[in-house]
Structure 1
Amino acid sequence: MKDLRGEPISTQNAGSLEIFERALHALNVYRGDPVAIIDEALALEPDFVMGHILRAHVQVTMWERSVLPAVNESLARLGELGNRSNDRERGHVRALSLWAAGDWGGYKDSLDRLLVNHPRDLLALQAGHLSDFFQGDRETLRGRVARALPFWTRDDPGFGLLHGMHAFGLEECGSYGAAEEAGRHAIDLDADDCWAQHALAHVMEMQARQAEGVAFMESRQANWAQDDNGFQFHNWWHTALFNLDQGHHDRALDIYDRGIHPQPTEIQVMLLDAVALLWRMHLSGIDVGRRWDDLASTYAKGSETGFYAFNDMHAMLTLVASGRQPEAAALLRTIEDMSRADNTNGMMTREVGLPILHAILAFGAGRYAKVVDYLMPVRYRAALFGGSHAQRDILHRTLIEAALRAGDRSLAHALAHERIALKPHCPFTWQLHQRATQ
């Protein structure tokens, strides 16, 4: 049989295929629970190869240690089903096996090779797109979708989603006009495309269109903040950033409480946005009450320590901001030991993660000149450990604040001018400039 986009799929059960398409759509649009949906297909057909593949990819998109048992369980089952699998499916299994082994670059590249022969494989496109993001590979983030788009037509299920993904890749590569065009085309095709919404928010963030950004997010809130939308927390984060950079601190905190971190969670991708907003406020001396405490309690458990360097940075930010210097120092020692691993995260940690962790720990200890020493050499290489420009801006803000507190006005002034060149209309940037010139 073939899926709705004409890609081969090893099943003769129309019911399994129909459920697969529902689960894939749930994954694509971040609505509902794709694992629960695909489990319906696996109950109907336990040997459904693409069902096990989709289930594993959904787990991988969390990008945290806690999913490894589920991924390995799926891989074990897929190993038993090798003689039932087609070439496309075997390509997915190879990629997933590399991810489980810690070779995230191999996972990303294997999906790229798979898409050369199967450019209409929507699961491979989305899994690869997210992998590009988690590894900071902005060129592939853009190019992966660009290579596939000519093989799609407007009538293909999921066509609009490709434009939303392409928009994000274009934005991360600095092509803001093309990114906005692609993002708006995507939401014209599907008003509820929350990934395209987020790509457009990134464009407005990078162009310092804060007031327009707030209006854009609020006017379309019904399209991206549905109760079952698993990505709404990140779009709330963008809304909060737009408010924060205009000086609307109370609004940003209200958004934090309602949308970004409404209840305790241990899901890493959800914690990141909570930490990133509070740290920006911490740098500005804004009182956030006891909001750090819940985050610190979660990170202090250490269950995800040393798995993904970008997450480790946020753990360190939390422990430092909450005044847990001994725990922060212990975290650094643990990650130094784990950085010797011969895998993708070991490389990320050695190259950029450790200097950044040292910088954050130094910031908490008031050793601001050391913060500058640690961050200056890595600030332009930080994409190596993933995230977006908007997310990594936290490093540039920390660097400028450290320069100001260290009394290095010349450096702070130079860095402020650098920001002004990129975001000449951002009120926060001009506040930094004013502080540097006082």
Structure 2
Amino acid sequence: MALDQMQGTPRSSKDIRGVPVSYGDASAIEGLERAIEQSLSFRGDAIASIEAILAEHPRFVMGWLFKAGWLTQSMETRVYPQFIEAITRAEQLSGQANTREQGHLAAVKAWAAGDFFGAVQKWEAVLTQYPKDLFALGLIHYTMVLLGDVPGQRDVVARVFNLWDPDIPGYEFVLGFYAFGLEENRDFTHAEDLARQALDIRPDNPYAVHAVSHVMEMRGRQSCGIKFMKDRADVWGTSNFANHLWWHTSLYHLDLEQYDQVYDIFDHHLDSRRKDGNKYEELDAAALLWRMNLAGQDSGDRWVHLANKWEPAAQDTLYAFNDVHAMMTFASDDRVEAQDLLIHANKRYLESASDANAAMSREIGMPFCMAIQDFKRENYAACVERLLPVRYMTHRLGGSFAQRDIIGWTLLEAALRDKRYDLALGLANERAGLKPTSVQNWRAVARALKGLGDNSGAARATSKADALASA
């Protein structure tokens, strides 16, 4: 037996893609691969899987780094103790770590310090040296989505894509990453092609389904989107990503004013009152209810349990994207104290914070939170004044174009209710130009034209909306 094995550290090896691993036990490396596959396919419990491996192999440094890396994506304070413990254990073993693993360690340490962009740069250094490090590629891509780095979501994959081929395990995930990055950069045809290639390899790949759903959303292919999603719901509906994909399905119905179908999806798939849930699920629920309220639909008591779920996180100041969705629930359920706690916690945080989230909160998060309050208080003029200056900066909040569209729609609806019909017409025309198949967009055009006294123009826009709704 080799000396390093006798001392409890199996000799180094490689994973199934040829990427070096400092811990050479085959069962540990196979267990890590299963956890990576679970994480990227949104199946099972990747953290529980890697914890089982670490129980048997506590000196497996890449196992600890996987745990820390995957926990970065939750953006929830509840995982912070586990996250820090994983970093600590990896750091204790850093003497045996190889260059790749040292890079992963540097990245998660930067994340723990609040330097999300620095973490990305350190993962990118790993990927440059090891372009088949699938986990590093996934973390960079997902983090760029969280941070709203739109070109980066595409380009990080482009830099390594030609070094991959269908024979390399995990190629279908690389296709999915690239497809979503292309879609966010409005290269819709190429995006859909790659996503469908990914689905040919792995039909249950929810992230590839996600990329196609985004293409159809952005291009206004509502009926095709509904059919695509429902034809495959038996496959993606069992994944950990199902909640978000049901949210996407509901957006098609919302665009067509099919409100009963929207609430049916909410009540059967997004309503987490009977589930433990997590913040990602509750983001989708809050975002959908806010859109329904913008469309003039009554949500009944649905806001109550959502506000209950969000209230313990009112002072987290961890991620601005979370804060704005929490504020939607607090404002919609008239929880004044929770609103004040969120605003004051963020103000205190911004007085001294210099991490990546501070910029996101200062530039977009706080203005939108206060605009949400203004809107619910029917102070529509103030809502417009807060959102109009930042409408082209909203990518700094993070998330996708489809998610951030809620800001533009809130601005438009506030302008209409404030009777600023000239501004509202411009905003509505802009939305109709980007998505001319949206019933909602033509309704807004009609309302703005009617407000300006152009009754014939309003009638034409209404006829357009009616035709789309009945198609």
Alignment of 1:321-340 (within 5 A): 321-340=332-351
1:220-231 residue pairs with structure 2 within 5 A?
Answer: 220-226=232-238, 229-231=239-241
- 1:85-164 equivalences under 5 Å are 85-164=97-176
Q: Which position in structure 1 is the counterpart of 2:271?
A: 261
Q: Find 1:252's aligned residue among 259, 262, 274.
A: 262
Task: Report how far residue 205 of structure 1 moved.
Answer: 0.6
Question: Which among 317, 325, 328 is matched to residue 306 of structure 1?
Answer: 317
Q: Confirm or deny that 1:416 pairs with 2:428.
A: yes
Matches within 5 A, 1:367-386: 367-386=379-398
Distance in 1, matches of 2:299 and 2:376, equals: 17
**Which residue number corresponds to residue 290 of structure 1?**
301
Tell me if the contact between 1:339 and 1:350 (Cα under 8 Å) persists in the aligned partners: yes
2:399 maps to amino acid:
G
Amino acid at match of 2:257: G
Give the match for residue 455 of structure 2. none
SS state of the match for residue 343, structure 2? helix
Query: Aligned-pair distance for 1:11?
Result: 1.4
Q: Distance in 2 between the 1:156 and 1:225 partners? A: 27
2:214: which partner in 1?
202
Aligned to 1:151, what secondary structure does the other structure show?
coil
Alignment-derived partner of residue 234 in structure 1: 244
* Aligned mates of 2:75, 2:316 — CA distance in 1: 13
Contact 2:148 2:396 in 1 (8 A): yes
Q: Is the 8 A contact 1:65 1:304 kept in 2?
A: no
> How much has 1:334 moved relative to structure 2?
1.8
Q: 1:25 corresponds to which residue?
A: 37
Consecutive unaligned residues of structure 2, counting only runs of 5 or more, are: 1-12, 451-471
Residue 366 of structure 1 is matched in structure 2 by 378
Distance in structure 1 (CA, Å) of the matches to 2:133 and 2:341: 44
Q: Percent identity?
A: 40
Task: Using structure 1 for the length normalisation, give the TM-score.
Answer: 0.97
Specify the code of the residue in structure 2 equivalent to 1:277.
L
Contact 2:314 2:338 in 1 (8 A): no
Q: 1:405 aligns with which of 417, 434, 437?
A: 417
Residues 28-107 of structure 1 aligned to structure 2 (within 5 Å):
28-107=40-119
Does structure 1 retain, via aligned residues, the 8 Å contact 2:76–2:279? yes
- Deviation, 1:327, is 2.6
2-side partners of 1:282 and 1:303: how far apart?
22
**Residues 180/165 of structure 1: CA separation in 2 closer, same or farther (3 Å cut):** same
Q: Report the TM-score when normalising by structure 2.
A: 0.91
- What is the CA–CA distance in structure 1 between the aligned matches of 2:99 and 2:271, rounded to whole Å? 42
1:277 aligns with one of 261, 282, 288: 288
Letter in 1 for 2:320: A
CA distance in 2, matches of 1:153, 1:245: 38
Unaligned runs of 5+ in 1: none
Alignment pair present for 1:219 and 2:231: yes
RMSD: 1.2
Distance in 1 between the 2:212 and 2:44 partners?
Answer: 23
Q: How many residues align?
A: 436
Q: CA deviation at 1:181?
A: 1.1
Counterpart Cα distance in 2 of 1:177 and 1:346: 36
C-alpha separation in 1, matches of 2:271 and 2:73: 20
Which structure has the bigger radius of gyration?
2
The structural deviation recorded for 1:264 is 4.0
The answer for the alignment partner of 1:316 in structure 2 is 327
Equivalents in 2 of 1:406, 1:68: separation in Å?
A: 43
Q: Which amino acid aligns with 1:401?
A: E
Residues 325 and 364 of structure 1 are in contact (CA less than 8 Å); yes or no, is this contact kept in structure 2? no
Higher relative contact order (CA 8 A, sep 6+): 1
8 A Cα contact 2:315 2:341, kept in partner: no
Displacement of 1:139: 0.8
Q: How far, CA to CA, are the matches of 1:41 and 1:305 in structure 2?
A: 32
Question: Secondary structure of the equivalent of 1:416?
Answer: helix
Q: Which amino acid aligns with 1:110?
A: K
Question: Could you tell me how far apart the structure 2 residues matched to 1:156 and 1:415 are?
Answer: 47
Q: Aligned letter for 1:231?
A: F
Report deviation, 1:85: 0.3
